[in-house]
Amino acid sequence: MLTREIRARLARPLSRIVNEKELMKLVNVVKPTMIITVGDVVTATLIALGREPEVAIFDFKTKREESRYRFHYDVVVNNPRSSITDEAMEVIKEAIRRHRRVKVEGEEDLLALPAVLYAPERSIVIYGQPDEGMVPIVVEESVKKFVERIIEAMPYFAPRPIEEIDKLLPR
């Protein structure tokens, strides 16, 4: 789960909010090595604009309600709300390497972070800002470092190895 400080920082967009026209202008100027979409509406919007993302991450939900969009997907990953699991990190890394579509069981909102972390430079990762527009992030080294710091600051509640748990039990 997220701390209050991280949640507050992530409530603000990581880049400028754009509409469809501004997004396509950016895509045409940057000529990205890869486009990665995070979210059902963003993925559907990009497809409707005639540009298939190389990687798409979605959960078939919009604002926590069932989405009207349905996409083909190659892999499914579990990722609880307000979290980024190790499994999700690995699946996204592989999806970027192999150009896959990822269906998330749980919530995909924070998965733009590992997408930025693993995307090649000059890629564009796009996520939605509900009721406002889309947030395109042009991937460069400084952005990757910023995202890495956010991920490292997130609390991590992994199950402990059984040996550690045994040491805590009364004898």
Q: What is the pLDDT of residues 107-156, one digit of tens each?
A: 998 999 999 999 999 999 999 998 999 999 999 999 999 888 888 877 65
In order of 82, 108, 125, 143, 160, the CA distances from 29 in angstroms are 33, 28, 15, 19, 47
pTM: 0.84
* pLDDT value of position 27: 97
Q: What pLDDT is recorded for position 171? A: 45
Dihedral sign, Cα of residue 69, residue 35, residue 127, residue 150: positive
| Strand pairing category for 133-138 and 124-129 | antiparallel
pLDDT in the model for residue 68: 75
Q: Residue 3: its pLDDT value, please? A: 65
Give me the pLDDT at residue 10, please: 65
User: What is each CA distance from 81 to 88, 105, 119, 139, 158, in whole angstroms?
Assistant: 12, 10, 23, 25, 15
Interacting residues of 115 by C-beta distance below 8 A, sequence separation 6+: 36, 38, 55, 57, 92, 96, 125
Using a pLDDT cut of 90, give the percent of the chain over it.
62
Q: What stretches in the chain show pLDDT beneath 50?
A: 157-166, 168-171
Q: What pLDDT sits at residue 162?
A: 44
